[in-house]
Chain A
Amino acid sequence: MTKILIIDDEEDIRYTLKEICSLSGWNTCEAVNGNMGLKLFKKERPDLVLVDYHMPELDGLATVKALRKLSTEVPIIVLTVDERQQVADTFLDAGASDFALKPIKAPDLISRLKVHLSILKSTQGQVEDDDVYTVKGISKATLKLVVDYLKTCSNGASIEEITDGVCLAYPTVHRYLMYLVDRGDILVQADYGKVGRPKNRYYNK
């Protein structure tokens, strides 16, 4: 049975997360700080970890780094109110898989967790551990998810559409798209819509 480790110092948030997980039929175990989280991780070997950004005793970032040393493939999802790409990049560099932006909504969180659990299943046993990350903060499985989605969009897609389509957080998608554009795997085009600044649309080559 799928087991999810929840690391958050707020009791109410842990309860909410636990309830959302149990609705989807997942087991949970809870830790109130990063140190406890690491201990529990070794003991329980969960399938996925939810980590809060702001915590006393080993904050979210340090926890993510420590967890990645224990396992390269377990999905680590960071809970944060901070939407800045800079913060996101720091976490992705540290090895986080994705974000759950507060406020947490059950349908969103469930589908996001499902995506990561299925990524995990598809990669398990197939790739060597060292090969899971092509570069820092870019996981091959997640990259494949984004590329596969783009392949289905013949008219290209905006970053918001991709975010909804693959059920990943905006900062994560942004990071992967930047990586793909850098490598020249996909095309960007500015779309001058009706209102405001032009939006970029991304196309599979």
Chain B
Amino acid sequence: MTTLVDRDKLIQGILIAGFAILLQRFLEQPYWQVLTKLDESITRGDSGRLIIAASFMVGLNALRALPVYVGAFRAVEGVDSKQKPMAILVAGSIISLTFTLLYLLEQGQWEWGVPLAVFLGASGLFLLWGRGVLKFWHKVIIIGQLLLGSYWLAIAPVLTPVGFGAGELSTGIKLAGQFLNAESTLNFVSVAFFLPLITIAIVTTGLIDNYQKIIQQINERKKRENQMQRVQLAAAEARVLQEMHALVHDLKTPLTTIRGLNSLIEMTAANDKQAEYAGRIEIAAENMNGMISEILYEDVREPITIHSLINYVRAQIIPEELEQRFHFDVGQDMPKISVNKVRLARALVNVIDNAVRATRQNVAGRVDILAVRNNGGVEFSIKDNGDGMSEKELDMIWQPGYSSRNSSGLGLTFVRKVVENHGGSIEIDSQPDKGTVVRITIPDGRGDGHD
């Protein structure tokens, strides 16, 4: 049963309904006003004042009853939308209990006609028509309209036999009407207010319902568009990668020629020096070949010391006139790790670039790059004291296409891909205006436990 009812909403509903009892205290004075006006109408024989007294009473009754219904239908929001009988039961019991309490406190007469009419009207509108699209405030407005309309029924003498207007004041107004010979006027006024107000309530419900549905459609369309954009972006990324792949692959052909002819020179070298040069050229060409392989194939790994990796990264940081202070710190006794040097370095440079951008406006901008041992692997942390990000931004940064500076938004997605491909992990901590720390952990990469 607990799954059928949301307890928070139920409690909220009961509290709102209970507010009606508090409100009762403040409405005593205005209710006296009604009685005064009623007296005046009788003493002066003025049925106009009677109508004014009646309007006053209707307004006050509606105001007093508003929290009861609002509370009841708030509680119903917590009921599973498929459980309609259950919803009606919850609303019905809250309304009848609150009213019973109210009348007991007031020692008044139980009047069931108007409350029942409003209850049925609201249930019909919300549960059968509104179908869950109505928001809380929409319900408050609609209930207000229903109440203002329905309480007019309480002053129609013709409806007294079927249970309308049994309360003290309503009875008073009706008696005064009898005394002033204005019963038919009361009947007429009652219907003349009831019908348009109820119609307005129904029309309002229809309009809000329609409006909500349009909003829903717009949101859905927006969601679809976002999704499409993401797909397009992924396709663009794939195309760029493919293009890059082809371009990089083309580098291998001239390299083949260089190494082939160089090996000929080495074989036929006229002297030792020439042979040495050729040897050096071969080493350089082989390094280049290795880099090309690392760019082309994610899984290509080579063992590397953290020092040389960091040096390789440092060499790639664009030495434009940087205001920020850089601080590199590589711990003692660092292990060698097996990584795709080109890709991992690119990922680190990417994160460092972000840190540089975040501290650009900062007078005392500072970027710390640390590498420490971590369970046989290495933890790199890139810390800046720049702009930082809010929690909302942090949630979004992993989505491809998100960018705080209108770039392609592929940066962090690439970083994560590289880190995950190395079996590592990445986490980001950030506080607005304090700065950001990115921690990247890379295992030693040898996979097995052999030393």
Contact = CB atoms under 8 A, between A and B. Distances in A.
B256 A107 contact: no
Contact of B261 (A16, A81, A194, A196): A16
Given A10-B253, A12-B254, A23 B267 contact: yes
B257 A105 contact: no
B252 A81 contact: yes
A104 B256 contact: yes
- Top 5 closest A-B pairs, CB basis? A16-B260, A12-B257, A106-B263, A103-B259, A105-B263
Contacts of B259: 103-105
Nearest to A197: B448
Contact of A102 (B256, B263, B267, B448): B256
B267 A16 contact: no
Nearest to B282: A105
* Contact count band on A: 20 to 34
Interface residues of B, number: 20
A12 B259 CA distance: 11
Interface of A: 10, 12-13, 15-17, 19-20, 23, 81, 102-107, 194-197
A13 B448 contact: no
15 contacts: A10-B253, A16-B264, A19-B261, A20-B263, A20-B264, A23-B267, A23-B268, A102-B256, A103-B255, A103-B256, A103-B260, A103-B285, A106-B263, A106-B267, A196-B446
Interface string B231-263: 000000000000000000000111111011101
A20 to B, nearest CB: 6
B260 A23 contact: no
B289 A103 contact: yes
B261 to A, nearest CB: 5
Contacts of A107: 263, 267
B450 interface: yes
Nearest to A196: B450
A17 B260 contact: yes
Contacts of B257: 10, 12-13, 15-16
Contacts of A106: 260, 263-264, 266-267
A101 to B, nearest CB: 10
Contacts of A15: 257
A17 B260 CA distance: 8
Given A103-B259, A104-B259, A23 B252 contact: no
Interface-central residue, A10, A103, A194, A197, by most chain B CB under 10 Å:
A103
Chain B binding surface SS class: helix
A80 B255 CA distance: 14
B253 A13 contact: yes
Nearest to A79: B256
A107 B256 CA distance: 14
A74 B260 CA distance: 24
Nearest to B264: A106
Nearest to A105: B263
A194 B450 CA distance: 8
A195 B267 contact: no
B64 to A, nearest CB: 83
A16 B448 contact: no
A19 B259 CA distance: 13
A16 B256 contact: yes
Interface string B261-305: 101101110000000000000000110010000000000000000
Contacts of B261: 16, 19
Interface string B431-448: 000000000000000101
Given A12-B253, A23-B268, A105 B260 contact: yes
A16 B263 CA distance: 10
A19 B450 contact: no
Contacts of A102: 252, 256
Contacts of B253: 10, 12-13
A104 B260 contact: yes
A17 B263 CA distance: 11
Nearest to B265: A106
Given A12-B257, A195-B450, 10 more contacts: A16-B257, A16-B260, A16-B261, A19-B264, A102-B256, A103-B286, A105-B259, A107-B267, A196-B446, A197-B448
B278 to A, nearest CB: 10
Nearest to A110: B267
A84 to B, nearest CB: 12
Interface string B408-451: 00000000000000000000000000000000000000101010
A81 B260 CA distance: 14
A48 B261 CA distance: 21
Interface string B50-75: 00000000000000000000000000
Nearest to B448: A196
